[in-house]
Amino acid sequence: MAITTLNLRALNRSDTASSGQVITATSATAMDFQAAGGGKIGQVVSSLKTDIETTTSTSYVTTNLSVAITPVATSSKILILVAAALNSKNSGHQTMAIIDGGNCATYIGDAATGIEAAMAHIGTYDVKDQHPFTLMYLDSPSTTSQVTYSLHYLAKSGGGAVIGGPWTQSSVTGNDASTITAMEVLA
């Protein structure tokens, strides 16, 4: 049975709420003050990267962009947000990125090429280009131990991949800041 009308008179006048409590339906006809439920953000940690990194590896390598968080409960989820820029050394070369840590191994595209990614980019004609991307994943690490999440990337078709700026610096290009943020979502 759904409650369609909120009857505040169902609460006794002597009832008082404590900080962080909400009115909760305890049955179809009764309400009470209780601790707020899940969905609250318990903590936020973030890391900033302002330098440029390059790789010529065709296998995933880690960047210097990582964040560690220690969940307070095994039922907590961790929302990971990444904002960065990626480019390839040569036109037509593919670069890819993933988040590593916790249970993020499932945050990739279906198997088709042999090297799947959370994000892929095909290089353009200009090595001075920068291609911003964002990654967002809700992880369920099921632990109260520290979990480290990091950004990994590769240069799939050879050449090279760069994070944080263009492959070739010039007077008309800039460098990008990159961030990774982890937020604990309480159950």
Contact 87, 131 (CB under 8 A): yes
pTM: 0.74
> Residue 3 has what pLDDT?
44
Cα–Cα distance measured from residue 185 to residue 3, given in angstroms and rounded to the nearest whole number? 27
Domains of the chain and CATH, by start: 1-37 (no CATH), 41-185 (2.60.120.760)
The rounded average pLDDT for each run of 10 residues, N- to C-terminus, in the chain (187 residues) is 49 60 67 70 94 89 95 95 84 80 86 73 61 89 96 82 76 81 93
> Residue 69 has what pLDDT?
98
